[in-house]
Amino acid sequence: MSYINSALLPNEHLILKAKIHWIIYVSALIILGIGLILCFRGGGSGLEVIGFILSVIGIAKLLKAWLYCYSTELAITSMRIIAKYGLIRRNTIELKHDKMESLNVDQGILGRILNYGSVSVIGTGGSRAPIPYIANPLLFKKKALEISEK
């Protein structure tokens, strides 16, 4: 059971749950691919060792990205915005809609093309919860603002 589902109050319902964009895996897959190519096509020139090291780094980065996806949750409910990240050390931010001061979306050029970005929710007390690599961040912002206006 996800943290968000377990944190819902009796009269609260889930409106939108953000997903982590697949771009988080790309650098790990590129490093792993280059490493595997060097491992099997090194030609005996010592590139196999470099390929093996790159493969290990690629696998470690792939595992790190998967753990980030597994341990990060961001959702809009009928009463609040909930953000949870971290696996061993869990950080949670639960912000009622009337306490939300602003919601910022940060997208670079690649983020705009592939539709991902960082979402930062800022509360009235100055609390900030930046969550990077959110798929479709503008939809998340739109839904959050629609709910907070009601």
Class of domain 75-149: mainly beta
Residue 20 phi/psi, 5° resolution?
-85, 135
Q: Band of the pLDDT at 40, cuts 50, 70, 90?
A: confident
The pTM for the full model equals 0.83
| Strand residues in 90-150 grouped as ranges (E) | 91-96, 100-106, 116-123, 128-135
Other C-beta atoms closer than 10 Å to the C-beta of 32 total: 20
d(CA 69, CA 53) in angstroms, rounded, equals: 24
The answer to whether 147 and 124 are in contact (CB under 8 A) is no
Q: Which of helix, strand or coil describes residue 79?
A: coil
Q: Where are the domains of the chain?
A: 24-67, 75-149
Q: Band of the pLDDT at 98, cuts 50, 70, 90?
A: confident
Q: What is the mean pLDDT of residues 120-126?
A: 81
d(CA 131, CA 82) in angstroms, rounded, equals: 11
The alpha carbon of 118 is separated from its chain's Cα centroid by a whole number of angstroms, namely 8
pLDDT at 1: 57
Other C-beta atoms closer than 10 Å to the C-beta of 88 total: 6
The answer to whether 130 and 116 are in contact (CB under 8 A) is no
pLDDT surpassing 90 at residue 95: no
